[in-house]
A and B are shown apart, each in its own frame.
Chain A
Amino acid sequence: MASLKFEDIEKNYDDLTVVKDLNLEINDEEFIVFVGPSGCGKSTTLRIIAGLEEISKGNLYIGDKSVNQVEPKDRNVSMVFQNYALFPHLNVYDNIAFGLRARKVPEKEIKELVTNAAGILGIKNLLARKPKELSGGQQQRVALGRSIVRKPEVFLMDEPLSNLDANLKVQMRSEITKLHKELKTTTIYVTHDQIEAMTMADRIVIMKDGVIQQVGTPKEVYNYPNNVFVGKFIGQPAMNFINGILKEDAFIFGEYMLPLPIQQIDFLRNYIGQELILGIRPEDIHYEGDYSLQKSSLNIKVDKVELLGSEAYAYMNVAGEEIISRINPRLDIKSQQNLNFYFDLEWAHFFNPKSKNRLRKTELKNVVNQ
């Protein structure tokens, strides 16, 4: 088990910069999830840690040791690939034993370790099978088995669940989390799925175009997104963003005016008269509000209602922008109805329309290490 440290890491392919200004410390035993849209450099970052890609600039430390010049095999990491990367001609046992054999572990010990790992993952009865005789979930377990059997210092996982169906995903999610609780090995997990990030991570690293947007616990990044991108990316459906202008005690957009709660007025004192972006989560726009929100209610026409079972979403259009409110699924709301919605602005955030960054009390506060 080991901690990791990225120091000003940059990765270029010819003149294409794929990862930039990467500064991050990962603690021992931590479960870190890198999340971001496809092509943002997550896999590249993971491959940099594994040593499969060279760093163009900066330093990488595993433990206290700089590993810039260290071969992949000497980094003591293991990697689970999106397509599992199982050897099709080897059976499950030999697949799991692959790394041990490469390290010349005696066969007797291998047998013990493989059986043990297979036991943990519940695939003991599959040891004689070839990968093509396994389901996706079973193949996934074998890949995990090959990775844990060697007891590396760091687990690297590149979208390990993205090829599984929805139910299996949920199940494997909790199994991987459980595995981490048991083994306590520092894990770096890459996904484009923010739900995986939210449910599994100790801390989430959100990336976009090769640059870290925010690092924080799931709660932090959900409740205090650093910028519009994070607000949009984390949370399903995404945070609502409304362009408007700040008046003394209200936020104006289109024909609407939202009175602000006291603490927001105080906080926004310096921005009066400026254009801002209001960010508010769908669950903070209520249809059945409590009375205290009465004064921040707006009468809006509902375009359509989407029922998901345990929850429902009302889609509306205000000042040219679609916003979504989470409503009680048992309510009988028809589309094209005009209804009162209560905006709970206590949890709302305001963003600079140019930089798209969230306004903070002190703008000096470091964006990354909050």
Chain B
Amino acid sequence: MKNGWRNSTFKVNFYSWLFLLPSLIFLTIFTFYPILKTIYQSFFQSMQGEHDSVFIGLDNYKYLMEDEVFWEVIKNNIWYALGTVPTSIILAMMMACFVNAKIRAKSWIRTFFFYPTVIPTIAIANIWLFIYTPGYGLINHILSWFGIGSVNFLGQSETVMAAMIVMIVWKQAGYFMIFYLAGLQNIPTNLYEVAKIEGTSAWNTFKTITFPLLMPTTLFVFIISLTNAFKLVDHIIVMTQGGPNNASNLLLYYIYQVAFRFWDKGLASALTVIMLMIMVIIAVIQFFSLDRKIHYS
């Protein structure tokens, strides 16, 4: 009897592992191994093209702590996150509520809100490069009607970050709107009918029903947009190269620069480890603080 029981658990376990094996192999090759290797490399001074790397302990990290550009990049990234995350979320929620209401031309407006998401990055960069062009760009053109002279939005440190933020909000709010639309569909219409019969005002209906019941969606969107904020690189490569004067340099772009412009593998690895830690912190926030309170049913 006992033997048989053991046998069958072994079998169950064996098959479970067998089914998991393919994904485990891929995870190991493309995720676990690179992470460990990166951490390992961050303790070495190894320039690309030189074969022997030298163990230097935490020197890469120490260097970063004193690196002005690194702190500039971190500061930029925090501003960038503060600029994009809440704005995208609020806009997405407003757009979804608007589109979800009984209005004419619903699907047109929905498409209109969503289409920035489906345009390829390079095309978006092009559109906004035109919008921001000094002299004859769209915004400067409009500004000229009011007698305001040409502004080079992407070319000066004071405006470049704001310009990037506006563009990214424009791009991702429509995408988040889709999640909010799904969230709204999940709220039973009966709840709104109760509010109607009981005479709850529109604003209170939003405050007491819609907003709290959208919290799971908001958490999801919050996490996505926060990680997005630390993952932006393509638009920077195309539009500003982190300039002027590192004013639009963000963490991932800095890693790219260090690794593939300065060819400093060790330092790039250390930066990557820091980036990984930021991601882990975000995941921990999701798991432990927010996740529990907001799932109702």
Chain A positions within 8 Å of B, measured between CB atoms, are: 50-52, 71-75, 77-79, 81, 83, 85, 87-90, 98-99, 102-103, 130, 132, 146, 150
Contact (Cβ within 8 A) B193 A102: no
Scan B24-64; emit 1 where CB is below 8 A from any A CB, else 0.
Answer: 00000000000000000000000000000000000000000
How many residue pairs between the two chains, A and B, have CB atoms under 8 Å in the bound complex?
66
Contact (Cβ within 8 A) B198 A150: yes
Partner of A77, one of B188, B190, B197: B197
Contact (Cβ within 8 A) A102 B195: yes
Q: How far is the CA of A103 from the CA of B197 in the complex (A)?
A: 11
Q: Does B11 contact A (CB under 8 A)?
A: no
In the complex, 12 of the A-B residue pairs with CB atoms within 8 angstroms, ordered by the A residue number, are A52-B193, A72-B196, A77-B197, A81-B190, A83-B190, A89-B212, A98-B198, A99-B197, A102-B198, A102-B201, A130-B296, A146-B194
Besides A79-B194, A99-B194, A103-B199, 8 new A-B residue pairs in contact (Cβ under 8 A), listed by A number: A51-B196, A52-B196, A73-B196, A81-B194, A83-B188, A85-B188, A88-B296, A89-B213
Contacts of B188 in A (CB 8 A): 83, 85
Given contacts A52-B196, A73-B199, A83-B190, contact A102 B204 (CB under 8 A): yes
B:74-117 near A, CB below 8 Å: none
Partner of A89, one of B193, B204, B296: B296
Given contacts A102-B204, A130-B296, A132-B297, contact A85 B191 (CB under 8 A): yes
Q: How far is the CB of A146 from chain B (nearest CB, A)?
A: 8
Partner of A85, one of B190, B200, B212, B296: B190
Q: How far is the CA of A154 from the CA of B196 in the complex (A)?
A: 16
B:112-170 near A, CB below 8 Å: none
Contact (Cβ within 8 A) B212 A102: no
Contacts of A130 in B (CB 8 A): 296
Contacts of A90 in B (CB 8 A): 208
Q: How far is the CB of B213 from chain A (nearest CB, A)?
A: 6
Q: How far is the CB of B96 from chain A (nearest CB, A)?
A: 19
Beta-carbon nearest neighbor of A52 in chain B: B193
Partner of B296, one of A50, A72, A81, A132: A132
Contacts of A83 in B (CB 8 A): 188, 190
B:168-216 near A, CB below 8 Å: 188, 190-191, 193-201, 204, 208-209, 212-213, 215
Beta-carbon nearest neighbor of A156 in chain B: B197
Contact (Cβ within 8 A) A102 B200: yes
Beta-carbon nearest neighbor of A81 in chain B: B190
Partner of A52, one of B197, B204, B213, B296: B197
Contacts of B194 in A (CB 8 A): 79, 81, 85, 98-99, 146
Contacts of B200 in A (CB 8 A): 98, 102
Q: How far is the CB of A61 from chain B (nearest CB, A)?
A: 18
Contacts of A78 in B (CB 8 A): 197-198
Q: How far is the CB of B216 from chain A (nearest CB, A)?
A: 11
Beta-carbon nearest neighbor of B297 in chain A: A88
Contact (Cβ within 8 A) B197 A73: yes
Beta-carbon nearest neighbor of A47 in chain B: B193
Q: How far is the CA of A85 from the CA of B194 in the complex (A)?
A: 8
Contacts of A87 in B (CB 8 A): 191, 208-209
